[in-house]
Structures are given as C-alpha cells and as structure tokens.
Structure 1
Amino acid sequence: MPINRDQVILVDEDDRPTGTADKMTAHRQGLLHRAFSVMLVCRDEGGAVKVLLQKRAAGKYHSAGLWSNSCCSHPIPGENTHAAAVERLQQELGIADPVSLSPMGFCRYRAELDSGLTENELDHVFVGTVPLDLTLRPNLLEVSETMWFDAECLAAALAADPCRFTAWLDRVWSICRKHPLLAR
C-alpha cells in the first residue's frame, strides 16, 4: 500500500494521537495536529552564530513568500517525528548527509493564516549544528531562497517586521534559544 504523505497525525494537548486527517482538512478545520520545525545553526569565520532561514516558495498552500525556520513539516501516521525531520531536511534543502538534530521541546500554537486556513499545531522543535559551507540544493517547489541570518538580530527582526515571517517562527525561535550555541 502506498504511503499517503498528505495525512497528518491529530493529537490532544499532551501530544497523544487521537486520529488522522487529510492535511488540507486539518488546516481548513483548524484541527490540532503534530508538526515539527528545524533550525540549522553554525558559526561563521568570525565566531558569530548564524541561523539558516528559508523563504517559502510562492506555490505553497499557505504562508507563501514568508521567511521561516530552516525546515518544517508534519510527520505522517506511524512515522517517528525526529526521523521525519531529518528526512525533510534532505527533501526541502537537498542536504546530502543526515544532520544530527537535538530535540529542544515543543510549542503549541494556533494562527489564522492567509487563504482561510488555520494552523493549530503541537510543533516539535529541533536544532542542528552544521558547517557554514554546508551545500544546499533547495527544492524550488518548497523553498524559493535561503539565507544565513545573524542569530543575535533575529528576535529584533521578528518584532520589527512580523509580516515578513511565518506565524510560528517567533515561538520556534524562543525554544531554539535554549540550545547551548544560541543561549545568552
């Protein structure tokens, strides 16, 4: 039987599975479902910490053209969330070798989006440390652009111009800040 990549895992407030739904149905009806967000980080030649942001492709079903964390998606029923995050990095960003990800916790958020959709997610957050010269081959159906952004400036940028960023990035960033490379 083929794997249906358009299914999401519905969960309760404690992340216990309660069923499954089609991804678009979950977003149209605002059903609580499991998701993951990954932030890749590195140090540049001068020692400054950088985070990899992606600009979502124009064809995305929501939040198109907005800057977001390095990678985000939903595990499918029966799939381990950590393994799904590693695989999705390869699919979205074309990273050849698996990245070691540190689980940082999760955030619960609900946001009304463009095109009448609602994000209602329990979002597992991971951080991966990578080299600055990491080779990226973004899937242009998912990602229109990538940028290494100064970690010290991200919170200020989110506050100054939130309309440039996805609805979940500020919450994801606050959890990522617990990572030893990002903690201040």
Structure 2
Amino acid sequence: MLEGIIRESISKANTKALRNDGYLIANIYGKGVANIHCAFKMNDFIKTLKTKTTLIFPVKVGSQTLEVVVQEYQKDPVSSNIVHVDLLLAQKGIVSKYKVPVKISGIPVGLKNKGVLLLSKKRITVESAPENLPASYDIDVSKLDVGDSVLIRDLAETSKVKIIENPSVAVVGVIKAK
C-alpha cells in the first residue's frame, strides 16, 4: 500500500523542500470532504501506479486509509517528471466522472491488407459509482479491415455506467497506410 505524509504547510518553500527530498506533491479531494494536502515518495507512487490492476487503489495518509483514483497529474515540460497529482476519493454510492482505459486484443485483418491500427482514445470518460466501475474496456479488433473502426456507441453501456463521450467518435480503427 502506498504511504504518504500530510503536509503541514502548503507554502512554496515547503513544497520545494519536499520535491528536493524526492516527494511528489498531491491533493486528495472528494464530495463533502475537506481537501487533504499530502506528499508521496515519487518512486513508490510510480511503482504503485504500474502494478495496480484496477483504477481504484488504496493509500495511507497519516492514520487514514483511503481509496483513491488518479484524476489529473502535471508533468514538468523539460524533464517529463511528474510534479503534482490530484487524487479523487472513491466514495461508495456517490456518482463521479472517471477515465477508464481502453485495452485492445487480437490482430486486425486489415494489417495484412496494408492497413495500420490506430488507437484514437486511450481512455473513455464515464459517470458511475466506484463499485460499478469497469477495470477497462476490452475491444477485440481481430475482425477490423481497412476503413473499419469501433465507435463509442459500439461499446457496452450498462444502466449503472454511463459513457459521457460523443457517440460518433472512433475509439480504434484500421486506416490505409500511405
């Protein structure tokens, strides 16, 4: 489990000192809950993100254990290091917006016909309670030929998970190579 420290001060000097010590600055927030200003060790945070199997993962800040989802992160434009992350509390029964990853499987028929597989959307925005949240959208692309695509409206939508994207947007497709 990822462990972090609560930041006593949110001043610029304190933030800079924490970053120099190898910490990643984070904010944890949710509906009806006071914001928690915290910091995590950068390497521990990256390891946790790479090894997690679902969108929701536990963190321990101070004496609290919280279930959170990465909502947004900011990268340094020069070094590409993560400098700040916003974590949304996954509160049971409360509907929020989440970005669910897209996973593709299979080899498209169109690749043999001089086509190229193009993944247009890596994440799909959905509105759901955390207990109904899918881990990912798995799309089988083995039947796609050149010019074929899978649109948002082709994805399975349940009564508890609502897709917020434009239904006519392509998620994945096979285009003709130049």
Q: Same fold (TM over 0.5)?
A: no
- TM-score bracket for this pair, using the shorter chain length: under 0.3
Query: Could you say which structure has the higher strand fraction?
Result: 2
Give TM-score, length-normalised by structure 2.
0.27
Query: Could you say which structure has the higher helix fraction?
Result: 1
Q: Which has the higher contact order (CA 8 A, sep 6+)?
A: 1
Give TM-score, length-normalised by structure 1.
0.27
Greater Cα radius of gyration, structure 1 or 2: 2
